[in-house]
Amino acid sequence: MTSADFATDPHLICADRYWRLRFLDRPTIQTAAACSTWLVGHVIRDHHTEVLEKWSLGYAFITKDSVESSLELSRAVEEIVEHDSSAGETAYFATLYHAGKLRSNFWFDELHQFLDASLLALAAGVHRQAPLFTALRSFAAFGSRVLTTEHAIGLLDQAWSSSERTRHVVDICLNGIQAAVPFDGHGQLLRERAAEAVRDHPLDHIFHFRLASGQHMVRDHDAALDSINTALRHLPALGSRGSHKLLQEQYLAKRDAILEGRLRAELDAEHAQQLAGQEERHRRRWEQLEGELRRRGEEQEKARREGQEAARANHVRAVELVAVFTSAIAFAVGSLQVTLTGSYSLYDRLALIAAWGVGHVIFALLVVGGTWLITRPRR
């Protein structure tokens, strides 16, 4: 094969249909090993990686309902190691095939265990360092309840920054982020990486779908609606590995969810605006009530003070009147006694009466002045 064009290369199209039928008939590691051997002998090195990734993952998806047991895998590994001269590359293809089944079924922990400890994955040798292998490990770590998000992101960055990153590496990385156990910055990470994928592959419908999912997670509903509409527009009507109907239903479900989220956001914004207006009205009304209460309090305090001052003034006047009245009585009694008794001359009597009157006047003035001094208003 001199190309990796699955749309126009007749030889590749024919080979693709042949191996598709073989995998559907016998979805085993042995079939994957045979396909890998044929691929090495018939596809030129320049297109080897693209065809290998497309076939191993694509055939895994259409046969995901037939996951082989650990015993079956062990037997297959023995056959590959004993009879295949390029055992490492064959084991790598078979590993991707089986891992693709686990990935399609979202068996995260089983995928992690298979990639890390199975004899088949270990037999892949140097191919374990390939970015696609790392991307699968990242996918397993993102969905696992055991592994940490930091570990998953570390593997993601390693695969994403590789100079050998392919379209399938990007797809698995984005799929892992989207299927991850929720974490802080989840939607932001998916949106950023999917936006980069869309820039590199502007006609890829699945990347526009991932971007719409990330935008939906961060509540950027308008942008998410544009992205999912673009995904629907680029979705091909036919496909041998993926179901057009299944993908279309998935995209339409996401579109409905985005529209629902958009409507809910609009209703929430409207409700928040109404609450803010009601809060403002309540605040103004409360300020008015506080002002009225403050004015009434000030008026009552003023009236109370005026009443206290009036009562104090009346009390002072009463004391002053009592003092003057007492002095007047004492003066009258004393004057009458001086007038009616004794043998004083008229001049002496007048002098005594005058002195007596002056004394009482001074006494009354002292009482009145002292009372004023004691009861005068103070600041």
What's the residue count for the chain? 379
The mean pLDDT of 22-42, rounded to a whole number, is: 93
Out of 1-15, 133-147, 170-184, pick the least confident.
1-15
198 in a structural domain: no
Domain count, the chain: 1
Residue 332: pLDDT band (50, 70, 90) is low
Query: Rg of the chain over CA atoms, in angstroms?
Result: 50
Range of the domain at 314: 269-375
Instruction: Please determine, for residue 311, whether its predicted confidence score (pLDDT) is greater than 70.
Output: no
**Which has the higher per-residue pLDDT, 79 or 36?**
36
Instruction: Please determine, for residue 209, whether its predicted confidence score (pLDDT) is greater than 90.
Output: yes
Out of 64-68, 110-114, 262-266, pick the least confident.
262-266
Task: Kindly report the three-state secondary structure assignment for every residue of the chain.
Answer: CCCCCCCCCHHHHHHHHHHHHHHHHCCCHHHHHHHHHHHHHHCCHHHHHHHHHHHHHHHHHHCCCCCCCHHHHHHHHHHHHHHCCCHHHHHHHHHHHHHHHHHHCCCHHHHHHHHHHCHHHHCCHHHHHCHHHHHHHHHHHHHCCCCCHHHHHHHHHHHHCCCCCCHHHHHHHHHHHHCCCCCCCHHHHHHHHHHHHHHHCCCCHHHHHHHHHHHHHCCCHHHHHHHHHHHHHHCCCCCCCCCHHHHHHHHHHHHHHHHHHHHHHHHHHHHHHHHHHHHHHHHHHHHHHHHHHHHHHHHHHHHHHHHHHHHHHHHHHHHHHHHHHHHHHHHHHHHHHHHHCCCCCHHHHHHHHHHHHHHHHHHHHHHHHHHHHHHCCCC
Instruction: Please determine, for residue 37, whether its predicted confidence score (pLDDT) is greater than 70.
Output: yes
| 87-130 per-position pLDDT tens digit | 788 999 999 999 999 999 999 999 999 999 999 999 898 999 99
| 334-358 per-position pLDDT tens digit | 666 656 565 667 677 677 677 767 7
238 in a structural domain: no
Residues ≥6 apart with Cβ < 8 Å to 105? 64, 67
Instruction: Please determine, for residue 269, whether its predicted confidence score (pLDDT) is greater than 60.
Output: yes
> Which pLDDT belongs to residue 224?
96
Instruction: Please determine, for residue 239, whether its predicted confidence score (pLDDT) is greater than 60.
Output: no
Sign for the CA dihedral angle at 190, 192, 195, 200 comes to negative
335 in a structural domain: yes
Are residues 255 and 224 in contact, defined by beta-carbon separation less than 8 angstroms?
no
Instruction: Please determine, for residue 378, whether its predicted confidence score (pLDDT) is greater than 70.
Output: no
**Which has the higher per-residue pLDDT, 364 or 213?**
213
202 in a structural domain: no
Out of 79-83, 148-152, 237-241, pick the least confident.
237-241
233 in a structural domain: no
58 in a structural domain: no
211 in a structural domain: no
325 in a structural domain: yes
